[in-house]
């Protein structure tokens, strides 16, 4: 201690440190022993030491891979330091065996000033968008979408929760694969609403996310936008699972148990996993124009980024048939940084690591699981299975065991007067002067955004005014709820709000009516136009469209109920 204090005094005298640093430093305890950690993988070594005591433990780490990964993480972190981003972590796993080959807990274990001893592989952090691919894959298995299926990207309120896209734009309609590639928030939240927060949280827990402490309802729909905390370790399990065809199994770090074969749980079908990997392969890589070094883009990688709320965390996780690489970049202190965009924050390090890994020829991409996929004829405009009114279908693939998607809900055959272009029906058409024409009929709000971008389909023409069916107003009427009505819903014994039964009437019996609630397609009715729906508190919009494009719209409110 005396030796240390003498040194500090000299530093003070020479002006190397100021007096407050001097006095603080005097109070620091003097280390009594040299830290006994080995140079490689200090975070993992510390954890194994705590768990298994001292002695020799053989791990699955590969010396050369670990060494090189530590170097790349440290160098990358040094480049980001000027931007105010201080910490990075990475985990490298063999996709097939699940053996961890590199465990880099931070940029430098001995960098005490920047919390280098925190293990970023095991630290729970907000997930950002990194869980979206798994929701899309599950949605494929549940007959909600295929990569080509058009989703609504319009202002959407769920109670008081109104998600927005990172660019604050609305696209009207967007392909599911594009929505995932560009990580759009609105389609993802709408999809989670449709799929269900409870089953999705259940999937995450089963797949290996160990940090979901709260009840699923507590996370709510923000679960898909980073409402939950996850660990880098668990994300490697989650993405490796896609690479294993939807099988989720623990990773191995101890040499002795890595020989045990863990089957894991099949939670997503091999077909849906493969389709999702092919979408993630198209995620735009951080290119030289965005960053200051080049990438070798020769080897395909299915990858995704995530940025947490307030730019506190940047994730990037990628999976190839050989390697699963997970990267986190941020500040252990929790401070946000505007430079932490997903693609620029963690993406470049992911590719530096991935491109540095050894690879065998012929293992570039996941083989198509032929028996797990079936051909489907898809409507080119909607990405749903083509119906009779759709244009020539395009070939697509669907998971073989998935619940089938409904037929294209947008294309409808309407009868049009050849001269006036007006819509006609059996009550008002003139023999030989009308023809059947297909129309792409969309809910009004979707149409509005497509008009803004100049991509709206041809408008549905109005019905002939002199038609007897038109006399007395629209043939399609919403009979309940009434305009602007405020409805109080009692609670079930389970605490959830009771369903509300919506009613409509059509003057022409047997007409098919398509239901949209808050711009979500509910399905269609033909005989009795009644639907019971679960509703949250707040404002709701019901839009009905019949086969001839006739519409009825109603706004109503669900009031806050007593507990």
Binding site for Zn ion (CB under 5 A): 379, 382, 390, 408, 411, 425, 427-428, 467, 469
CB of residue 408 to Zn ion, shortest distance in Å? 3
Q: Quick one: 69 or 425, whose CB is closer to Zn ion?
A: 425
* Whether 244 contacts 264, CB under 8 Å: yes
Nearest by Cα to 43 from 115, 136, 96, 99: 115
Q: Quick one: 469 or 533, whose CB is closer to Zn ion?
A: 469
Q: Read off the tokens for 375.
A: 């051909």
CB of residue 182 to Zn ion, shortest distance in Å? 23
Nearest by Cα to 318 from 65, 92, 60, 72: 92
Q: Quick one: 111 or 417, whose CB is closer to Zn ion?
A: 417
CB of residue 389 to Zn ion, shortest distance in Å? 7
CB of residue 446 to Zn ion, shortest distance in Å? 14
CB of residue 419 to Zn ion, shortest distance in Å? 15
CB of residue 385 to Zn ion, shortest distance in Å? 9
Q: Quick one: 242 or 425, whose CB is closer to Zn ion?
A: 425
SS3 97: coil
Q: Quick one: 34 or 436, whose CB is closer to Zn ion?
A: 436
Strand partners, 559: 488
Q: Quick one: 367 or 375, whose CB is closer to Zn ion?
A: 375
Q: What is the 3-state secondary structure (H, E, C) of 245-258?
A: CCEECCCECECCHH
User: What does each C-alpha distance from 471 to 85, 464, 552 come to in angstroms?
Assistant: 68, 11, 16
My answer on whether omega of the bond before 256 falls inside 30° of 0, hence cis, is no
CB of residue 519 to Zn ion, shortest distance in Å? 18
CB of residue 411 to Zn ion, shortest distance in Å? 3
Q: Dihedral (C-alpha) 183, 184, 190, 191: value to the nearest 10 degrees?
A: -30
CB of residue 463 to Zn ion, shortest distance in Å? 6
Q: Quick one: 333 or 426, whose CB is closer to Zn ion?
A: 426
Nearest by Cα to 204 from 179, 169, 178, 229: 229
* Whether 8 contacts 17, CB under 8 Å: yes
Nearest by Cα to 542 from 440, 473, 532: 532
- Determine the Cα–Cα distance for residues 517 and 532; give it in Å rounded to an integer: 11
CB of residue 407 to Zn ion, shortest distance in Å? 8
Q: Quick one: 319 or 425, whose CB is closer to Zn ion?
A: 425
Q: Quick one: 349 or 425, whose CB is closer to Zn ion?
A: 425
CB of residue 426 to Zn ion, shortest distance in Å? 7
Q: Quick one: 11 or 469, whose CB is closer to Zn ion?
A: 469
CB of residue 147 to Zn ion, shortest distance in Å? 16
Count CB atoms within 10 A of the CB of residue 106. Answer: 29
SS3 155: coil
- Binning the chain into helix, strand and coil, the percentages to the nearest 5 are 30, 25, 50
Q: Which residues does 549 contact at the CB level (< 8 Å), separation at least 6?
A: 412, 414, 423, 439, 441, 460
Q: Quick one: 227 or 409, whose CB is closer to Zn ion?
A: 409
Which H or E element spans position 345? helix 342-345
- Determine the Cα–Cα distance for residues 332 and 315; give it in Å rounded to an integer: 14
Give φ, ψ of 277 to 5 degrees. Answer: -60, -35
My answer on whether omega of the bond before 93 falls inside 30° of 0, hence cis, is no
Q: Quick one: 342 or 383, whose CB is closer to Zn ion?
A: 383
* Whether 364 contacts 322, CB under 8 Å: no
CB of residue 549 to Zn ion, shortest distance in Å? 12
Instruction: Write the burial class of residue 551 (CB in 10 Å: 0-12 exposed, 13-18 middle, 19+ buried).
Output: middle
Q: Quick one: 83 or 427, whose CB is closer to Zn ion?
A: 427
- Determine the Cα–Cα distance for residues 297 and 286; give it in Å rounded to an integer: 10
Question: How many helices (H) and strands (E) in the chain?
Answer: 14, 23
Q: Quick one: 336 or 380, whose CB is closer to Zn ion?
A: 380
CB of residue 244 to Zn ion, shortest distance in Å? 35
Q: Dihedral (C-alpha) 364, 366, 370, 376: value to the nearest 10 degrees?
A: -110
């Amino acid at each position: 201690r005396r030796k240390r204090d003498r040194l500090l005094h000299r530093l003070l005298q020479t002006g190397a440190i100021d007096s407050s640093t001097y006095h603080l430093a005097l109070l620091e305890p003097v280390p009594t022993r040299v830290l006994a950690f080995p140079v490689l993988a200090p975070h993992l070594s510390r954890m194994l030491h705590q768990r298994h005591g001292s002695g020799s433990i053989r791990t699955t780490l590969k010396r050369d891979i670990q060494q090189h990964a530590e170097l790349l993480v440290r160098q990358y972190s040094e480049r980001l330091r000027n931007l105010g981003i201080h910490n990075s972590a990475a985990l490298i796993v063999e996709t097939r065996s699940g053996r961890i080959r590199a465990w880099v807990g931070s940029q430098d274990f001995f960098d005490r000033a920047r919390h280098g001893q925190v293990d970023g592989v095991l630290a729970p952090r907000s997930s950002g968008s990194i869980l979206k691919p798994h929701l899309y894959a599950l949605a494929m298995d549940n007959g909600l979408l295929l990569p080509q299926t058009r989703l609504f990207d319009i202002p959407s309120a769920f109670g008081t929760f109104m998600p927005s896209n990172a660019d604050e734009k609305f696209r009207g309609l967007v392909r599911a694969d594009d929505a995932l590639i560009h990580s759009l928030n609105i389609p993802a939240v709408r999809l989670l609403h449709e799929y269900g927060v409870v089953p999705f949280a259940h999937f995450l827990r089963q797949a290996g996310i160990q940090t979901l402490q709260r009840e699923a309802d507590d996370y709510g729909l923000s679960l898909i936008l980073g409402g939950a905390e996850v660990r880098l370790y668990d994300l490697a399990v989650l993405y490796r699972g896609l690479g294993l065809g939807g099988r989720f199994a623990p990773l191995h770090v101890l040499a002795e148990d890595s020989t045990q074969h863990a089957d894991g749980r099949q939670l997503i079908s091999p077909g849906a996993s493969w389709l999702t990997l092919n979408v993630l392969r198209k995620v735009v890589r951080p290119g030289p124009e965005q960053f200051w070094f080049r990438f070798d883009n020769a080897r395909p990688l299915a990858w995704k980024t995530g940025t947490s709320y307030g730019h506190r965390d940047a994730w990037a996780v990628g999976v190839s048939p050989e390697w699963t690489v997970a990267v986190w970049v941020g500040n252990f202190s929790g401070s946000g940084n505007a430079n932490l965009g997903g693609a620029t924050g963690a993406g470049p390090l992911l590719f530096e690591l991935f491109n540095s890994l050894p690879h065998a020829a012929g293992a570039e991409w996941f083989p198509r699981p032929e028996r797990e996929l079936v051909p489907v004829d898809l409507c080119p405009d909607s990405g749903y299975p083509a119906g009779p009114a759709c244009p020539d279908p395009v070939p697509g693939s669907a998971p073989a065991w998935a619940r089938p998607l409904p037929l294209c809900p947008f294309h409808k055959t309407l009868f049009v007067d050849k001269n006036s272009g007006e819509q006609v029906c059996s009550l008002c058409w003139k023999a030989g002067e009308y023809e059947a024409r297909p129309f792409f009929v969309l809910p009004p709000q979707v149409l509005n955004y497509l008009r803004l971008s100049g991509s709206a389909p041809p408008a549905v023409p109005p019905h002939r005014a002199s038609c007897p069916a038109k006399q007395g107003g629209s043939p399609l009427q919403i009979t309940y709820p009434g305009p602007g009505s405020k409805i109080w819903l009692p609670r079930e014994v389970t605490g959830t709000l009771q369903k509300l039964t919506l009613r409509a009437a059509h003057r022409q019996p047997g007409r098919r009516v398509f239901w949209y609630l808050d711009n979500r397609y509910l399905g269609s009715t033909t005989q009795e136009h009644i639907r019971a729906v679960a509703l949250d508190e707040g404002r709701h919009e019901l839009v009905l469209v019949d086969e001839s494009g006739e519409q009825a719209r109603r706004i109503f409110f669900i009031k806050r109920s007593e507990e």
